[in-house]
Chain A
């Protein structure tokens, strides 16, 4: 008998079987290799019994081993076909995807609503500090009380309390051209240093060059949206405003229009034009010097009239504290977190009968999932509250800001409550919601046993026991971790 050749064949056969076993799934690999090797051993023994080396026997053995590779491929293919894709129903992935979809549905309107943008701009573009609106001491803040002559007098005299002054008066002028129908706008005819003193975020047209002879008109974003249909070609174009032709120099953001008179557009007139209506009353905006700031009482400053013909003046600060949507939301979220224990229990309220404890990774995943749900829920609350508050309001409104706060608080509170309640019904191992609730026992028939609802994880990891009547020994829900002896109840590999 050709022993070396026979052993060479045998080694090759064993190698083939080992390779074939590598194709099979890991859980079945050992079983298959054991069976193939056992059969090969018996077949080889039968051939060795003849005592002569036979090529045909070796080929038969080789065919068997090559067949084992086909076995392995077939087994692997059937295993893959039989293995259903893990259902995402009630899974953590499904939950996160749903929250993301809702978030996107809330973000899109928030980006489109002009009111939301107005609130953002208002919070973003704060007026310079120490700006005050000056008016007669006994007149309302919103009424124009200063003539251009008075302004000129202040401007030309030496001032200790102010280092910059701006004058503007409001007229209602029809404005438009061939492309834009004429509409009445509240036009503020202002002195030329207006943009500098307010530090306004104006999108200036490249056409508005310094040597342009036409007066410059700055349109509010609100008027641009409302009266000019957001026409991008408006900037730089010529318009008829009142009796004169002007060039639209730019669009100014929403947030800057928190000034007396609520103008729709600013026309940067020369002093001669302003002086032509010197009898009309307007507003004066002043920037306080450091000495002027020192004399402020709260947000007001009183200016005594000089001489018997001068009246006392009062300056009111324009830099009102603006919260902005994020700060409003942050406060609502804080209140919702404080109120959360009032609407649901936030204790961990879970224990295990068995000694099994999920791995550190599982526990981290579980906490991460809760954090993700809460973060997404809070984001949804933020954007949804903006959407609801500004659904029908085009500009900034204190009422809308208040409505946003209320909506944010309510949505945050119930979203967080949902996140906590949902987490309680998630299997600690696979984060899938437990299902198939079954009533166990009845209170009237149970003396020492527990009664309540039992739910099971479809992955076969846990049972959840929720008592109907909390007792001193069974007050909160409990998880029971299922050992491998339960596996036969669940489809193999379906959810793992």
Chain B
């Protein structure tokens, strides 16, 4: 099996945010405190490396609720294992964005 990729702290932070349930770009920015110019390119790279996956919500649902469709991000299976490895590498990651925070999003 291929070795888990080594992520930067920023990428690991974004991965942690998505892992705990922050699934929109703006919410990830809010919880990580990272600016837009950092978050989105980092998410594109994570997506390119198959650590996260994105998909647009159905247009009909968004229209029904009178809002534009949003793009959701979620971890892939390799993304989960990489996140586990990143948590070991950066022990403070879970304290910066604990699991229970996502429930409020």
Contact residues of A with B, CB < 8 Å? 34-35, 37-43, 45, 63-71, 73-75, 78
Q: Please measure, in the bound complex, the distance between the C-alpha atom of A101 and the C-alpha atom of B43, giving whole angstroms.
A: 48
Do B37 and A35 touch (CB < 8 A)?
A: no
Q: B69 at the A/B interface (Cβ < 8 Å)?
A: yes
Do B41 and A35 touch (CB < 8 A)?
A: no
Look across to chain A and name the residue whose beta carbon is closest to the beta carbon of B25: A39
Query: CB within 8 A of A74: which of B41, B68, B70, B71?
Result: B41
Do B35 and A67 touch (CB < 8 A)?
A: yes
Given contacts A38-B68, A63-B35, A71-B37, A43 and B26 within 8 Å (CB-CB)? yes
Q: A319 → chain B, closest Cβ, in Å?
A: 79
Query: Which residues of chain A are within 8 angstroms of B24 by Cβ–Cβ distance?
Result: 39, 42
Do B70 and A69 touch (CB < 8 A)?
A: no
Could you give, for residues 2-32 of chain B, a 1 whenever the CB lies within 8 Å of some chain A CB and a 0 otherwise? 0000000000000000000000111001000
Given contacts A38-B69, A38-B71, A42-B70, A78 and B37 within 8 Å (CB-CB)? no
Do B36 and A42 touch (CB < 8 A)?
A: no
Given contacts A37-B68, A42-B70, A45-B67, A74 and B37 within 8 Å (CB-CB)? yes
Q: Please measure, in the bound complex, the distance between the C-alpha atom of A69 and the C-alpha atom of B41, giving whole angstroms.
A: 11
Q: Please measure, in the bound complex, the distance between the C-alpha atom of A41 and the C-alpha atom of B41, giving whole angstroms.
A: 20
Q: B90 at the A/B interface (Cβ < 8 Å)?
A: no
Could you give, for residues 61-105 of chain B, a 1 whenever the CB lies within 8 Å of some chain A CB and a 0 otherwise? 000000111110000000000000000000000000000000000
Q: A31 → chain B, closest Cβ, in Å?
A: 9
Q: Please measure, in the bound complex, the distance between the C-alpha atom of A409 and the C-alpha atom of B70, giving whole angstroms.
A: 70
Do A68 and B40 touch (CB < 8 A)?
A: yes
Do A68 and B68 touch (CB < 8 A)?
A: no
Look across to chain B and name the residue whose beta carbon is closest to the beta carbon of A82: B48
Query: Which residues of chain A are within 8 angstroms of B45 by Cβ–Cβ distance?
Result: 78
Query: Which residues of chain A are within 8 angstroms of B36 by Cβ–Cβ distance?
Result: 63-68, 70-71
Q: A17 → chain B, closest Cβ, in Å?
A: 10
Do A41 and B68 touch (CB < 8 A)?
A: yes
A-B contact count (CB 8 A): 62
Q: Please measure, in the bound complex, the distance between the C-alpha atom of A74 and the C-alpha atom of B34, giving whole angstroms.
A: 15
Q: Please measure, in the bound complex, the distance between the C-alpha atom of A45 and the C-alpha atom of B69, giving whole angstroms.
A: 14
Do A71 and B40 touch (CB < 8 A)?
A: yes
Query: Which residues of chain B are within 8 angstroms of A45 by Cβ–Cβ distance?
Result: 67
> DSSP majority for the B interface?
helix
Look across to chain B and name the residue whose beta carbon is closest to the beta carbon of A73: B37
Q: B71 → chain A, closest Cβ, in Å?
A: 5
Query: CB within 8 A of B37: which of A34, A39, A43, A70?
Result: A70
Jot down 13 A-B pairs with beta carbons below 8 A, ordered by A: A35-B71, A37-B68, A39-B24, A42-B26, A63-B35, A64-B36, A65-B36, A68-B37, A68-B40, A71-B37, A71-B40, A73-B37, A78-B41
Q: A11 → chain B, closest Cβ, in Å?
A: 17
Query: Which residues of chain B are within 8 angstroms of A68 by Cβ–Cβ distance?
Result: 36-37, 40
Q: B46 → chain A, closest Cβ, in Å?
A: 13
Query: Which residues of chain B are within 8 angstroms of A38 by Cβ–Cβ distance?
Result: 68-71
Closest 8 CB pairs of A and B: A67-B36, A70-B37, A74-B41, A67-B37, A71-B40, A39-B26, A38-B68, A67-B35
Do B35 and A42 touch (CB < 8 A)?
A: no
Q: Please measure, in the bound complex, the distance between the C-alpha atom of A42 and the C-alpha atom of B26, giving whole angstroms.
A: 8
Query: Which residues of chain B are within 8 angstroms of A43 by Cβ–Cβ distance?
Result: 26
Query: Which residues of chain B are within 8 angstroms of A40 by Cβ–Cβ distance?
Result: 26
Q: Please measure, in the bound complex, the distance between the C-alpha atom of A213 and the C-alpha atom of B102, giving whole angstroms.
A: 115
Look across to chain A and name the residue whose beta carbon is closest to the beta carbon of B71: A35
Interface residues in B32-57 by Cβ distance below 8 A to A read 35-41, 44-45
Query: Which residues of chain B are within 8 angstroms of A75 by Cβ–Cβ distance?
Result: 40-41, 44
Do B26 and A69 touch (CB < 8 A)?
A: no
Q: A32 → chain B, closest Cβ, in Å?
A: 8
Query: Which residues of chain B are within 8 angstroms of A35 by Cβ–Cβ distance?
Result: 25, 40, 71
Q: A245 → chain B, closest Cβ, in Å?
A: 89
Q: B5 → chain A, closest Cβ, in Å?
A: 17
Query: Which residues of chain A are within 8 angstroms of B70 by Cβ–Cβ distance?
Result: 38-39, 42
Query: Which residues of chain B are within 8 angstroms of A37 by Cβ–Cβ distance?
Result: 68
Q: B40 → chain A, closest Cβ, in Å?
A: 4
Q: Please measure, in the bound complex, the distance between the C-alpha atom of A25 and the C-alpha atom of B69, giving whole angstroms.
A: 22
Q: Please measure, in the bound complex, the distance between the C-alpha atom of A69 and the C-alpha atom of B37, giving whole angstroms.
A: 7
Query: Which residues of chain A are within 8 angstroms of B68 by Cβ–Cβ distance?
Result: 34, 37-38, 41-42
Do B71 and A41 touch (CB < 8 A)?
A: no
Do A64 and B26 touch (CB < 8 A)?
A: yes
Q: A41 → chain B, closest Cβ, in Å?
A: 5
Look across to chain A and name the residue whose beta carbon is closest to the beta carbon of B35: A67
Q: B30 → chain A, closest Cβ, in Å?
A: 9
Q: Please measure, in the bound complex, the distance between the C-alpha atom of A199 and the C-alpha atom of B67, giving whole angstroms.
A: 95
Q: Which of B25, B37, B39, B69 has the most CB of A within 10 A?
A: B37
Do A71 and B41 touch (CB < 8 A)?
A: yes
Q: B91 → chain A, closest Cβ, in Å?
A: 29
Query: Which residues of chain B are within 8 angstroms of A39 by Cβ–Cβ distance?
Result: 24-26, 70
Look across to chain A and name the residue whose beta carbon is closest to the beta carbon of B54: A35
Q: Please measure, in the bound complex, the distance between the C-alpha atom of A40 and the C-alpha atom of B68, giving whole angstroms.
A: 10
Q: Please measure, in the bound complex, the distance between the C-alpha atom of A45 and the C-alpha atom of B62, giving whole angstroms.
A: 14
Q: Please measure, in the bound complex, the distance between the C-alpha atom of A262 and the C-alpha atom of B7, giving whole angstroms.
A: 88
Query: Which residues of chain B are within 8 angstroms of A74 by Cβ–Cβ distance?
Result: 37, 40-41
Q: Please measure, in the bound complex, the distance between the C-alpha atom of A74 and the C-alpha atom of B24, giving whole angstroms.
A: 20
Q: Please measure, in the bound complex, the distance between the C-alpha atom of A73 and the C-alpha atom of B26, giving whole angstroms.
A: 19
Query: Which residues of chain B are within 8 angstroms of A65 by Cβ–Cβ distance?
Result: 36
Query: Which residues of chain B are within 8 angstroms of A66 by Cβ–Cβ distance?
Result: 36-37
Look across to chain A and name the residue whose beta carbon is closest to the beta carbon of B67: A41
Q: Please measure, in the bound complex, the distance between the C-alpha atom of A38 and the C-alpha atom of B63, giving whole angstroms.
A: 12
